[in-house]
Structure 1
Amino acid sequence: MSLPATAAGRTRGRPVALGWLALLAGPLSFGITAPALVLDDIAAALGTSAGSTATLVTAFGWGIAVGSPLAGRALARHGGRTTLAFSSALVVTGALLVLASTALPHLVLVLAGCALQALGGVGLTVTAIGMAVGPTAMGTVSGALASFGAVAPLVGSQVADALGWRAALVLPLLALLAVPAAARGAQPPVASGPRDASGVALLVLTVSALAVLTALPVVWAAAAAAVALGSGLLLARHARRHPTGVVPGSVPRSVRFLLASAVAFGLAVVNFAIVYAAPPLLATATGWDADQLGTALLGPYLAGGLLALLLVPATAGLRYRAVVLVLPALALIAAALIAASGSAVALFAAMLLGSVTASTGQGALGLRAGDAVPAADRGPALSLFTLCYLLGAAFGPAIAVAVV
């Protein structure tokens, strides 16, 4: 599975080692899970509540959700090197905004910095996905996202202790280390045609309304849901009339693609909710401090990421129905364990199940989502699939903070 430019990129550039692809994609997870153990510190420094501070993760989730399809379109229209350069600039600009909040401490400045880092970071991740040819490479990218996410709470806590919480929020900068190697194997542009400003506007409006839904009071959340539904329906209609736009016409017609994307979204919601719900529950059950909690989270989440490296290729031979039934069932078991039990053993089991199902689902369902549309639409379709998965990063933490 790859973006359409991959084959051309292989003939015009050098093959990119899997390690570089993992480094290019993985640090995006730092922006999602690194704040898990330092939200209280950030809230105290900025004079806000933990709930308000959790909007940092919502802002990051918005950035990756909006940026995913836009990055896929940029990759197809402008090529890998231009996408890498622009994405890198966004990551750096966002990091500078976060660090600048030292002189002007304000939540809005940090929110803007997190959102820009996410927009750039997802561009790097989508580029890595576009270079991932076959189940093994896709499993490497999926496993990298899960593995970086596994170490992120501990790394974020340690970095915050040593350098301050702002340093913990700019860890996505690490992906820039892989940009030179990725640029040597970057794909050339393969798409042309209309820019589809209307489609882009409808897509951004739909995703933005969905991303902020969980961070709003009930009345405003209902309004956001109505906006998301209305703009989503208009976007589907637009895609049928303009099949070469930002949303290919084959996407809303493919039940297999829509189901795979919906399942991936659900798996991500469960996983990221558990990432933020587990630490306070574990602290209550065990009395562990932040460093001990970060170390404890390493085991199940790192195991989940590593297992994905094996499970994604292994699922290639399974029937579509088996994949879309088994993975959600395991995620529901994980959610039940985290909700119904206060024991450490059950919490660890929930974390492991959540991590395995989400990281495996991203790769396994992504393979099937790419096969569910014509080859010419595969690149932008995969970007939309990635959007659905990463949108779970905006929902999951907000749900966990509100409930736990």
Structure 2
Amino acid sequence: MNLADSRRVSVLLGSLFGIAGMGSSSAAIAVPLMADDLGVSVGVGTWTITLYALMLAVATPVYGRIADLVGVRLPLLVGISLMTAGATLSALAPNFEMLLVARVMQGVGAAAVPTLGVAVLSARYDGAVRGLAFGRLAGVAAALSCLGPLAGGAVEGQLGWRAVMALPILGLVLIPFLWHALHKDGTGARLDVLGAFLVAGTSAGLVLLVQSPSTGWSVALAGVLLMGLGVPAVTLRVRRRPNGFLPISVISNSVVVRSAIAGAPVPAGWFGILIAVPAVMIGHGWEPWQVGLLLAPSAAVALVVPRLAGPMLTRFGGPRSLAVAGLVTSIAMLLAALGADRHAPVVLGASVIFVTIAFGVGQPALMDAVGDAVPVDVRGVALGVATLLFLVGGSIGSAVVGGLGDLVGMPQGLLVLAALPLAGLVALAPLLRTPATRSPVGTSRTHV
């Protein structure tokens, strides 16, 4: 496939990814107003973002595995349909409880986009063209997500917060233009439904535990129980079904595991800032559209990042690029904590620009590293597992800000997020000591 084709397909997929991302970025701007309208605190209101991000995370490996089995076309169509239905129901929700249910549905649907988008690019291109396509996808997605607060603020000002929740239905418009690029061939194997359920429950337990300070001990207890039961159950399931939902060839691959752990703090910072900046500035009298304008420059930065990410991946490889993304994320969180403490809009705007750069480099770096590290027949599920850990990081980020931020203050919650990338660098360290050379896809089999 030529460069022009990769440019068009990656831009379309990035646009679809960005529209799915608006499910968090545009909705985040509406959280303070929605919470007030439905009679809950802002900390409790952030559950609409956390649950969306969590469902986005835990459903991604399911779509990745289904894509391995039946191809990309059908699962993507199902996912976009669910996302649209969830967005519509969110706009019509009569109370907070129904809004949460609708947001769960929306997140489950939107989860199709990250994994299947990169699966399309991985299958369709290779070499430098693939690296550029990954970078372009991430850049366009980040740009649209960064414009989400501005779009959400403008829509909220004219039509109210409910209309903001409906914005992701625009994703339907792009499907006809992508149809020819969506392969429909798979292996026809069976999906490990029990394995998927156990992984989803364990991941949910971690997020519930992190955000429990905003909702009380019962949520914390539920999180502890889900994790306490889930971890040994997942371990046993993997041993009994080594080729099941979590193939042992994928989760025992050190490049996949270490890269995913190092990548997770990047979306944690991204989701954390999306909640923190509107909460801080609207709390100090800003209108939603003004917050959107503050964040708008990051959209222009996001469009430029692919010009950096593509050559960086080609020259330094995925792990080293991930290390850079982690360091930039930590800097962004420190700036955000300072801006939240001093109520400094310029500093907060700068923090969003930094985390946008980190996301634009980190997401394609993770996909590139994982795509090169596993055999072709499990590439879809490997990308799904990596994206699961990546986006669970996002739900943890919103949970930290919504939970700890409610308890000890927004700056302190952001400082916690600043420390996470350093832990990721520790996991990544063994990969940084190896030469940054590319091996043919499926031949790298380094194990833990």
Q: Please indicate the TM-score interval, normalised by the length of the shorter structure.
A: 0.7 to 0.9
Paired with 2:379 and 2:141, the residues of 1 have a C-alpha distance of 21
* 1:171-217 deviation digits (Å, cap 9, x = unpaired): 11111111112222221232233322221121121222223333323
Name the CA distance, whole Å, in 2 between partners of 1:223 and 1:123.
27
Q: How far does the alpha carbon of each residue in 1:313-363 deviate from its partner, in whole angstroms, 9 at most, with x for none?
A: 122221555334332222212222222353444323322111111221011
Matches within 5 A, 1:101-180: 101=93, 105-132=94-121, 133=125, 134-180=130-176
Measured after TM superposition, the shift of residue 261 of structure 1 is 0.6
User: Residues 132-171 of structure 1, C-alpha deviation per residue, up to 9 Å, x if partnerless?
Assistant: 2311221122112211210011111111222221110121
For 1:323, the equivalent position in structure 2 comes to 321
Return the TM-score normalized by structure 1: 0.88
Partner SS state of residue 318, structure 1: helix
The answer to whether the 8 Å contact 1:195/1:245 transfers is yes
Tell me which of 190, 197, 203 is aligned to 2:186: 190
Q: Gaps (5+ residues) in structure 2?
A: 411-448
In 1, distance between residues paired with 2:335 and 2:62? 37
The answer (yes or no) to whether the contact 2:326–2:362 under 8 Å persists in 1 is: no
1:35 to 18, 27, 31: 27
Which residue of structure 1 lines up, in the alignment, with residue 264 of structure 2?
A: 265
Which whole-Å deviations, capped at 9, do the CAs of 1:54-97 have from their partners, x for residues lacking one?
A: 11111211220122111112222222221133113212321332
CA 180–68 in structure 1, closer or farther in 2 if over 3 Å, else same:
same
2:251 match: secondary structure: coil
Asked if 1 retains the 8 angstrom alpha-carbon contact of 2:156 and 2:288, the reply is: no
Q: Distance in 2 between matches of 1:401 and 1:384?
A: 25
Cα contact 1:71–1:83 (8 A) shared by 2: yes
Once the two structures are superposed, what CA deviation does each residue of 1:86-139 show, in whole Å capped at 9, x if it has no partner? 1132123213322332xxx21111111111111112213432222223112211
Relative distance call for 1:83 and 1:108 in structure 2 (3 A) is same
Cα distance in 1, alignment partners of residues 205 and 337 from structure 2: 28
- Opposite residue 245 of structure 1, the aligned amino acid is G
| Counterpart code for 1:201 | F
Gap regions ≥5 residues in structure 1: 1-6
* Conserved? CA contact 2:263–2:322, under 8 Å: no
CA distance in structure 2 between the aligned counterparts of 1:220 and 1:141, rounded to whole angstroms: 36
The equivalent position to 2:304 in structure 1, one of 295, 304, 307, is 307
Could you tell me whether the CA contact under 8 Å between 1:136 and 1:313 is conserved in 2?
A: yes
Corresponding position: 1:94 with 2:86: yes
- Quick one: which amino acid aligns to residue 296 of structure 2? L
1:56-67 matched pairs, under 5 angstroms: 56-67=48-59
1:11-90 equivalences in 2 (<5 Å): 17-90=9-82
Cα separation, 1, equivalents of 2:211 and 2:192: 30
- Alpha carbons 2:204, 2:226 under 8 Å: kept: no
Aligned to 2:421: none
Q: Deviations over 1:350-401 (max 9, x none)?
A: 2211111122101112200222222322110101111122223322223223
Q: CA RMSD in A?
A: 2.6
Residue-by-residue CA offset, 1:30-57 (whole Å, 9 max, x unaligned)? 1111122221211122122212211111
Report the Cα offset of residue 240 of structure 1. 4.4
CA–CA distance in structure 2, aligned partners of residues 345 and 324 of structure 1? 27
Distance 1:325 1:131 in 2: 26
Instruction: Indicate how the Cα distance of structure 1 residues 199 and 44 shifts in structure 2: closer, same or farther if over 3 A, else same.
Output: same
Report the CA distance between 1:15 and its aligned residue: 10
Change (3 A) 1:211 1:188: same
In structure 2, the residue corresponding to 1:250 is in which secondary structure?
helix
Q: Is the 8 A contact 1:33 1:153 kept in 2?
A: yes
- Is residue 143–residue 301 contact of structure 2 (8 Å, CA) maintained in 1? yes
Corresponding residue of 1:297: 295
Residues of 2 paired with 1:130 and 1:186: CA distance?
Answer: 10
SS in 1 for 2:23: helix
What secondary structure does 2:14 align onto?
Answer: helix
| Counterpart secondary structure, 1:26 | helix
With over 3 angstroms needed to count, the CA separation of the structure-2 counterparts of 1:263 and 1:378, relative to structure 1, is same
Amino acid at match of 1:302: A
Aligned to 1:3: none
CA contact (8 A) 2:54 2:207 kept: yes
CA distance in 2, matches of 1:278, 1:36: 9
- Equivalenced residues, count: 389
Distance 1:324 1:20, change over 3 A: closer
Query: 1:290 corresponds to which letter in structure 2?
Result: P
Could you say which residue in structure 2 is the equivalent of 1:338?
336
